[in-house]
Chains A and B, each alone.
Chain A
Amino acid sequence: MSEHIVSPKIYLVIFASLMLGTGITVWAAFQDFGKFNIVIALVIATIKATLVVLYFMHARYSPRRTQMVIVCSVFWLAIMLALTLTDYDTRSPRETRLAPSAVSHLLRA
């Protein structure tokens, strides 16, 4: 098994895709998609991040062991985000505001 060398051509294609993604995300931010603006922004960001991980960071050509570590990090991040947001989402609106309002008292000049 020898080292896989990614060619500059692939790097340039990925770079061009990332630029395109940046352009689309700025354009989309000024269109009114209602609730979906944030979804679109995050989907584009995730596509860009995936391209960076797969090609710039060579994850696509890495051994399975390394790929598993990468997948694990996303998995644990998903647990942290999903469980915390579920908690906030299933409380009554008053309770959701409780902790941050306590902070706003401290911040009020």
Chain B
Amino acid sequence: MHRTGELYGQFETLEQQKETAALGMWVFLVTEVLFFGGMFLTYTINRRAFSTAFGIGSNTLDIKLGAGNTVVLILSSLTMAMAVWSAQVGKKKLVSIFLIATLGLGTVFLGVKAIEYKQKFDHHLIPGRSFDMKYHPAHPMPGDDLEELDKEKQDVDKAFAVDPDINAHGQLYFSLYFGMTGLHALHMIIGAGLLLWLIKASFAGRFTPQYNTPVEVVGLYWHFVDIVWIYLFPLLYLIDRHR
């Protein structure tokens, strides 16, 4: 049986019923804030202890892909917000269109993330036995900007002089990079699953001005995942570009 927005016995008004659902999602998001907060804290402490290795690690990330993904994700938040608005004003077709747009943009984000991860595999920057920060500057790949790579080589050599354990400390950076972006990506995948469920329900025309709580609540979750990325992007990609 589908819910259609009828008033349940424990609530006084429909308004109260809706607010309670949103409040429940917010309470879940509080636990998420502290969950991600622990990872940001770990990152901050290690970054302060091993700033040389973290700077080199951060500068190997592709800023164009990172910034592009930021734009894609914020755009997906806009389409999500528009899906909520469409449901509130009763434009049933627009709800489906905006939900599909959100899912599409989320998928683009994950695809770009996969490209970035693949690069790190190719460049021997996955924590483990074959991790080597000197590997990529010494082994150019097709399509690499050789001038940029030469600068990277000089930076890595300089960093080795400052911190001889740079391959160990660099692995800390990349462990945190994959841990944090991986956890963020997992949240995106869960969000994509929720969107599929919403899209199916929106095709059946179930979201109306009277009943749109699922769109609103999944929207809260989606925007939260966006906020996590708003912090991840500068902290992981941008921290040492000025040197």
| Residues in A lying within 8 Å of B, measured CB to CB | 1-3, 5-8, 11-12, 14-15, 18-19, 22, 25-26, 29-33, 37-38, 41-42, 44-45, 48-49, 52-53, 55-58, 62-63, 65-66, 69-70, 72-74, 76-77, 80-81, 84-85, 88, 96-97, 100, 103-104, 107-109
Contacts and interface: CB of A to CB of B under 8 A. Distances in A.
Decide if the interface of chain B is mainly helix, strand, loop or mixed: helix
Interface stretch (B111-119, B184-192, B197-205, B228-236): B228-236
B231 A65 contact: no
A69 B31 CA distance: 11
B221 to A, nearest CB: 10
A19 B230 CA distance: 11
Interface residues of B, number: 60
B48 interface: yes
Interface on chain A toward B: helix, strand, loop, or mixed SS?
Answer: helix
Contacts of B26: 66, 69-70
Contact of A57 (B18, B48, B223, B235): B223
Contact of A80 (B22, B38, B77, B219): B38
Contacts of B38: 80
Contacts of A8: 82, 85
Contact of B49 (A41, A49, A96): A96
Most chain A beta-carbon contacts within 10 A, residue among B23, B227, B234, B239: B234
